[in-house]
Amino acid sequence: MPETRTRRSLPEQLLLLIDLGRWIPIAALVGILAGSASALLLVSLNYATAMREQHVWLILLLAPAGWVMAQMYRRFGASVEAGNNLVLEQTHNPTAVIPVRMTPLILIGTFITHLFGGSAGREGTAIQTGASLADQLSRPLGLAPHERRILLMAGISAGFASVFGTPLAGAVFGIEVLAIGTLSYDAIAPCFMAAFVGDLVTRAWHVQHKIYRVSETPAMSITGVGYSMIAGAAFGLAGMGFARLTHAIARTAKKHIPNPTLRPVVGGFIVTTAVFAIGTTYTLKYLGLGIPTIVASFNSKLPVYDFAAKGLFTAITLGTGFKGGEVTPLFYIGSTLGNALSHIIPLPSSLLAAMGFVAVFAGAANTPIASTLMAVELFGAEAGAYAGIACVLSYLFSGHTGIYNAQRVGRTKH
């Protein structure tokens, strides 16, 4: 938090009180805005998912819907198309306030993606709504660039916390996601405040979060540590594979389809064709958020290829320009990969699903501590210990590129 020269003479705690007296209301306001946007997002996604499940023919319209979405971004959203990377870029180097239109555009884009059967997440949307709404306070409050940076971090924290119902993970995510390998605490209080308020506001809008249950967690043992490390390495390679595949598809699409409004059309066409050519019995589970499959990965044995199929559907969806984000698909990839690993790693499959849920994300987003906190918040401290080891190993094995191109390398991993 800022410190001006004239205030240097005051005792440290008084300066802090002045700073907090200013930042707490701002962070609370960020939390209210981001939490409300997340509530709207979650309600709209529930609606979109229910509609798509009832009317499977909607998936036939994914290609034209992609065209509409791309037209919408072309006409109104050129300045905010970069999405999460714009948010991270502005947080690193605050130059211009993020246009408020980012919020409606990403909400509509995500709704379209999910209604018509794209495979995508929602954290990207929550981060963008949280950060862009937060940033609107910059001008009225007359914030300096380094204060805008704190505001954006609080917006990221509030968006993440509220969309997943995990305030501790959200608070730390906002300070951890900016750089690989380091973490600094200068925005820690606004991030915590915004994250907790954001989560409470989403819940106050009567939005419920899914509860996942780990049916069995053995007492930690030296073999448990070893198995968690091996699983973590696998989760990290999966996270890296997914990030690279998505980037590769995006690069290929850019190269071969110069017209950006046509890219989601092609992507939508590929997804639709794959869904109906392979058969909806097998493929519907890979569309949208995929929550039922994530739940199933905690309760029953699933096909071992589910994680790869989900990764492919998501990489095509997001790599060709659909909206929503990567994180819920990463949860899906991780929990189904964990489920699959239970064939060869002698840990309970629901525990491996929980470990994968957070650890593939930890590797792909390079956020091992936020992911460990998320495990603790969602699955409890016992499973969180296994997950923590897996998150660290996944983080190490996922390489130096992740799902966010604008993330910087603060310190190499090894």
Question: 253-272 mask for a copy of itself (x: CB under 8 A)?
Answer: --------------------
Kindly state whether residue 347 participates in binding a copy of itself, applying the rule CB under 8 A: no
Q: How many residues bind a copy of itself (CB under 8 A)?
A: 58
8-state DSSP, 326? S
Q: How many CB atoms lie within 10 A of CB 269?
A: 15
Can you say whether the dihedral through the CA atoms of 203, 205, 206, 207 is positive or negative?
A: negative
Q: By the 8 A CB rule, do 231 and 345 touch? A: yes
Task: Count Cβ atoms within 10 A of the Cβ of residue 64 and give its class: 0-12 exposed, 13-18 middle, 19 or more buried.
Answer: middle
Whole-number CA gyration radius for the chain: 21
Name 180's bridge partners.
Answer: 409
What whole-number distance in Å separates Cα of residue 246 and Cα of residue 326?
10
From the CB of 410, what's the least distance to a copy of itself, in Å?
7
Kindly state whether residue 99 participates in binding a copy of itself, applying the rule CB under 8 A: no
Question: 210-249 mask for a copy of itself (x: CB under 8 A)?
Answer: ----------xxx--x---x-------x------------
8-state DSSP, 179? E
Segment interacting with a copy of itself, rule: CB under 8 A, options 128-136, 151-159, 284-292, 373-381 = 373-381
Segment interacting with a copy of itself, rule: CB under 8 A, options 16-24, 72-80, 244-252, 346-354 = 16-24
- 129 vs 372, beta carbon nearer a copy of itself: 372
* Residue carrying structure tokens 């937060």: 134
- 51 vs 381, beta carbon nearer a copy of itself: 381
Question: 118-157 mask for a copy of itself (x: CB under 8 A)?
Answer: ----------------------------------------
Closest residue by Cα to residue 198 from 407, 41, 4, 7 = 41
Q: How many CB atoms lie within 10 A of CB 17?
A: 12
* Residue carrying structure tokens 């005792």: 11
Question: 21-50 mask for a copy of itself (x: CB under 8 A)?
Answer: ---x--------------------------
From the CB of 201, what's the least distance to a copy of itself, in Å?
9
Q: By the 8 A CB rule, do 49 and 289 touch? A: yes
- 111 vs 196, beta carbon nearer a copy of itself: 196
What whole-number distance in Å separates Cα of residue 314 and Cα of residue 322?
9
Under the rule (CB under 8 A), what is the footprint of a copy of itself? 1-3, 12-13, 15-16, 19-20, 24, 167-168, 171-172, 181-186, 188-189, 192-193, 196-197, 199-200, 220-222, 225, 229, 237, 368-369, 372-373, 376-377, 380-381, 384-385, 388-389, 392-393, 395-397, 399-400, 410-414
